[in-house]
Amino acid sequence: MPRTALIAAMNEELAALLPAIEGARVEPRGGREFWLGRLAGHEVVAVRSGIGKVAAAVTATLLLDHFRADRVLFLGVAGGIGTAVQVGDVVVADALLQHDMDASPLFPRHEVPLTGLSRFPVDAGFSDAVARGAAAALAEHGETAALLGHGCRVHRGLIVSGDRFVATVGESRALRALLPDALAVEMEGAAVAQVCHAFGTPLAVVRSISDRADDTAHVDFGEFLHRVAAPLGLAIVQHALAAA
């Protein structure tokens, strides 16, 4: 049975998921707590990475090299950047890019030096299962999300990551101008994608949209995180694992 790694950056994003793990055994390593057990009939190892690209990369490396995960699912909240992406929607990545990587003029902007890549891939089949899971989860929890926003659609496309909470209209507009196909912005996904690419391990990234990365992002973010992120996160993972 393949072992699926489940990663989220913050406690709130895992609050419903960790107690749902059957036969959970907690193993500390590298300043993190890795929860091993079973969920929706699958062997899982779940962990809170902490916020930002370095925290996420360390965590992903431990999951792959020490805990021998066979595939990785990153879940959490993100800011909506795409014009059609609303609070309450879900974005499943079809590629991930580090928007704050810039070694130009030595390398093209956004390219991770010496990898030849700016857009890191995800596993198409696993991401399909996660998107189906997200649609099923929204059908159950859309009402809660709709209380806070308007959306409950599932989008597929580019997710961009950087070590910045994007919380002004100016900054999200600048990101959109530079990367017109970006749907969502967050702080971990592309780092995990780089690690998974190095190990050749399948990855999917799913983000529920907590804010529009604009001047009210900090308010929307907090409310969504506390009211919606936990139940929606668990439902997405349960449906995704059942479909995978």
Residues tagged active-site: 13, 211
Residue number, 66 or 226, with CB nearest to ligand SAH? 226
- Choosing from 204, 213, 229, 235, the residue that interacts with ligand SAH (CB under 6 A) is 213
Does residue 77 bind ligand SAH (CB under 6 A)? yes
Residue 21 and residue 235: Cα distance in Å, rounded? 13
Q: Is 208 exposed, middle or buried (0-12, 13-18, 19+ CB in 10 A)?
A: buried
Does residue 74 bind ligand SAH (CB under 6 A)? no
Residue 191 and residue 211: Cα distance in Å, rounded? 21
Does residue 221 bind ligand SAH (CB under 6 A)? yes
Does residue 88 bind ligand SAH (CB under 6 A)? no
Does residue 188 bind ligand SAH (CB under 6 A)? yes
* CA dist list (Å): 8 to 2, 15, 70, 116, 204: 20, 10, 17, 27, 12
Q: How far is the CB of 235 from ligand SAH (least distance, A)?
A: 19
Does residue 64 bind ligand SAH (CB under 6 A)? no
- Choosing from 91, 210, 230, 232, the residue that interacts with ligand SAH (CB under 6 A) is 210
Q: Please choose, from the candidates 60, 52, 41, the residue with its C-alpha nearest in 3D space to the C-alpha of residue 201.
A: 60
Residue number, 128 or 163, with CB nearest to ligand SAH? 163
Tokens standing for residue 33: 């707590």
Whether the CB-CB separation of 133 and 196 falls below 8 Å is answered with no
* Cross-strand bridge partners of residue 37: 44
Does residue 91 bind ligand SAH (CB under 6 A)? no
Q: How far is the CB of 12 from ligand SAH (least distance, A)?
A: 8
Q: Which residues bind ligand SAH (CB under 6 A)?
A: 9-10, 51, 76-79, 165-167, 185-188, 210-211, 213, 217, 221
